[in-house]
Amino acid sequence: MKGPNDDTYYDVFLYPGDLISVPTNTRHWFTLTELRKVKAIRIFESKDGWVAVYDESELQKQA
């Protein structure tokens, strides 16, 4: 996740049974383990739901 007021990135390690809540408008992405499994529940405040905002420059830095 990226810090809200700076360019700092944070790694958050999760384990089975953990819960994470990502604040609105916080850039984030998930890197899977070798098992390549994830379960997610998304809760939205409106019927519009989630709309992805892709940042190609950030994706290229990760490659």
pLDDT per residue over 48-63, tens digit each?
777 777 777 665 665 5
Q: Please list, in sequence order, all residues whose beta carbon lies within 8 angstroms of the beta carbon of residue 22, skipping any fewer than 6 positions away.
A: 1, 28
Instruction: Enter the tokens of residue 54.
Output: 């892709």
CA 41 to mean position of chain CA atoms: 13
Q: What's the whole-number mean pLDDT along residues 7-16?
A: 80
pLDDT for the residue 26: 79
Q: What's the whole-number mean pLDDT along residues 7-11?
A: 76
Does the pTM exceed 0.85? no
Give the residue among 55, 45, 54 at the shortest CA–CA distance from 23.
45
pLDDT for the residue 7: 72
